[in-house]
Amino acid sequence: MSATIIDGKAFAAKVRAQVAEHVARLKEENGITPGLAVVLVGEDPASQVYVRSKGKQTVEVGMNSYEHKLEADTSEADLLALIARLNNDPAVHGILVQLPLPGHLNSDLVINSIDPAKDVDGFHISNVGLLGTGQKSMVPCTPLGCLMMLRDHHGSLSGMNAVVVGRSNIVGKPMAQLLLGDSCTVTIAHSRTKDLGAVCRGADILVAAVGRPEMIPGDWVKPGATVIDVGINRIQHPENPEKTKLVGDVDYASCAEVAGAITPVPGGVGPMTIACLLANTLTACCRANGLAEPEGLTA
């Protein structure tokens, strides 16, 4: 059997088009333009690439983008003062502080200083609690993107066995909450799980978010299962040691032979993350203005 490839790049383009259409309507009918503020502290090259890409896509869907680039040695007080300003700025509907922050800054303190209604990353402790109790919240972008792809592929996820490999606050834990919210039977596994292969083989939906290149082989996949690969790992190219290659957390070739559907790396989950950031900004803007939320773009 050869798996259906779930095309995250095409799906993300569809989500962005839906967001753009809704933004155009908001502007025309309500005179409102959603705004996203992205805060980058320091000069981490990967973060700079992400932030540039976020800003570009924000503008492309018709939203306002506010970029705040701060020196690496910015004090916590100065960063908190900027966030307080953004919290109080009615033109800003979403705030994202790019992680990781330089070591002298307390990430938890900084994230929890963002107004939860503007926390488009869904990392604020209030949003974590709201999601965990099934209440309306801002949902972390990567797991939201995975959920959208799963719903699109399966329709209902009710009663399916889902195994999430990885227990991070950004992906693993919120992913498990979302799948539970869609009535899956959910197992959270991780690098210390006993007989991880046997646990994975029980999954109708297998979400890999461990951050270890090609860790999950095809014989851990139940025939016909849906495999969502959240990993983005840069490894040495197997045929050319001078080059690098992006791979996921699953061994794509062997898993694709067994799975019913699979997300590739690159071009799977990755593009969905920024698309969902834009969707979350639109959702936050609609909520702030007491307007109906965009359909199909929330959990």
96 touching ligand GUN, by CB under 6 A: yes
Six token digits for residue 267: 């071009």
Nearer to ligand GUN, 121 or 182 (CB): 121
Nearest residue to ligand GUN, scored by beta-carbon proximity: 99
| Per-residue tokens: 135 | 């209440």
Residue (of 230, 295, 215, 298) closest to 262 by Cα position: 230
* Site map 42..61 versus ligand GUN, x via CB under 6 A: --------------------
Rank residues 74 and 98 by Cβ distance to ligand GUN and give the closer one: 98
b/e string for 175-193 if b means 16 or more Cβ within 10 A?
bbbbbebbebebbbbeeeb
Burial of 38 (0-12, 13-18, 19+ CB in 10 A): buried
Please tell me whether residue 130 binds ligand GUN under the rule CB under 6 A: no
Annotated active-site residue in 121, 182, 204, 251 = 121
Nearest in space to 168 (alpha carbons), one of 188, 141, 151, 193:
188
- 9: annotated active-site residue: no
- Is residue 105 a contact residue for ligand GUN (CB under 6 A)? no
- The helix/strand/coil state of 94 is strand
Q: Catalytic pick from 54, 118, 173, 222?
A: 54
SS3 275: helix
Considering only 83, 101, 141, 149, the residue that binds ligand GUN (CB under 6 A) is 141
Segment lying near ligand GUN (by CB under 6 A), choices 28-36, 90-98, 129-137, 206-214: 90-98
23 belongs to the binding site for ligand GUN (CB under 6 A): no
Kindly list the residues in this chain that would bind ligand GUN in the complex (CB under 6 A): 96-99, 121, 141
